[in-house]
């Protein structure tokens, strides 16, 4: 018999005998683990607000509707700059011009006609001075803003809060693992893995009962950043 054939036979026999043993050992190792999830949350007072405001006008002619809207938006942008809003914190999000058609009460034999035009311009603004948010809203309304589509509070630098939330999530998972191990009469071994279950999500908590000085009353509330982790521990005793 050739040596190569003999060697192949030995290797095949070795694999046939050791593979089941390795699989059984792997299954035993996996069965002697505990998996827990942990949650962590950190709250803080926000230091930034984002607002979506706009101007909408209707006129008989398209140019007239757009001109009125553009004049108001120009005044608003100039006012925001004088109030300390950086140019990089202002962005046009939507600019539309649409015809207004005659009502649907016309008969099928009559054609709908254009009776006017509506122009709209929407601006996204980041406000980093919350003390001036109320007066700022008053000012842009005075300059012609007549659409408000959102106000959201957030953090300019959420990374430190996110780190604290992650630490809290790991601490929560470890506490659960110890609790479960004590209840089951087992001993925990080393940590095998830590997996983050998605990024943090800032969200609004209860609204504060205080309003900013002057202008539109504003309640900033608190911003919450959360984290979720999954941890795997070895079990080292029955």
Which among 57, 30, 78, 41 is positioned nearest to 164, based on CA atoms? 41
Which stretch of 32-41, 82-91, 115-124, 210-219 has the lowest confidence by average pLDDT?
210-219
- Across the range 166-174, mean pLDDT stands at 97
Q: What is the pLDDT of residues 71-83, one digit of tens each?
A: 999 999 999 999 9
Continuous segment of H or E residues that includes residue 95: strand 90-101
- Across the range 141-168, mean pLDDT stands at 93
Query: Kindly report the CA angle at 34 between 36 and 169, in degrees rounded to 5?
Result: 25
The pLDDT confidence band at residue 1, using thresholds 50, 70 and 90, is low
Q: Does residue 215 carry a pLDDT above 70?
A: no
- Across the range 176-197, mean pLDDT stands at 94
Q: Does residue 58 carry a pLDDT above 80?
A: yes
Mean model confidence pLDDT for the chain: 83
Q: Does residue 236 carry a pLDDT above 60?
A: yes
Please tell me the predicted confidence (pLDDT) of residue 129.
92
Please tell me the predicted confidence (pLDDT) of residue 19.
52
- Pull the structure tokens for residue 191: 């940590």
Distance CA 210, CA 189 (A): 50
Distance CA 165, CA 39 (A): 8
Residue 57's CB is within 10 A of a number of other CB atoms, namely 20
Cα separation values, 16 from 3, 8, 13, 21, 228, Å: 20, 12, 5, 9, 43
Please tell me the predicted confidence (pLDDT) of residue 25.
46
Please tell me the predicted confidence (pLDDT) of residue 111.
74
Count CA atoms within 13 Å of residue 106 on its CB side.
11
Which carries the bigger pLDDT value, residue 19 or residue 110? 110
Q: Does residue 211 carry a pLDDT above 50?
A: no
Taking the whole predicted model, whether its pTM rises above 0.75 is answered as no
Q: Does residue 153 carry a pLDDT above 70?
A: yes
- Across the range 52-56, mean pLDDT stands at 96
């Amino acid at each position: 018999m050739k040596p190569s054939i003999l060697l192949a036979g030995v290797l095949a026999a070795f694999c046939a005998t050791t593979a089941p043993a390795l699989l059984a050992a792997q299954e035993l190792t996996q069965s002697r683990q505990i998996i827990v999830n942990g949650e962590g949350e950190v709250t803080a007072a926000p230091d930034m607000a984002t607002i979506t405001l706009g101007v909408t006008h209707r006129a008989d002619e398209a140019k007239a509707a757009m001109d009125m809207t553009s004049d108001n938006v120009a005044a608003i942008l100039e006012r925001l700059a004088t109030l300390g809003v950086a140019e990089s914190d202002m962005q046009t999000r939507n600019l539309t011009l649409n015809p207004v058609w005659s009502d649907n009460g016309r008969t099928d034999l009559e054609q709908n006609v254009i009776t006017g035009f509506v122009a709209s311009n929407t601006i996204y603004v980041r406000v980093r001075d919350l003390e001036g948010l109320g007066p700022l809203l008053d000012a842009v309304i005075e300059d012609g803003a007549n659409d408000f589509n959102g106000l959201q509070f957030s953090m300019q630098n959420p990374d430190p809060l996110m780190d604290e939330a992650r630490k809290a999530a790991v601490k929560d998972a470890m506490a659960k693992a110890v609790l479960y191990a004590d209840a089951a009469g087992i001993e925990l071994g080393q940590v095998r893995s830590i997996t983050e279950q998605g990024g943090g999500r800032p969200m609004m908590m209860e609204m504060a009962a205080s309003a900013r000085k002057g202008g539109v009353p504003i309640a900033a509330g608190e911003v919450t950043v959360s984290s979720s982790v999954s941890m795997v521990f070895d079990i080292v005793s029955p």
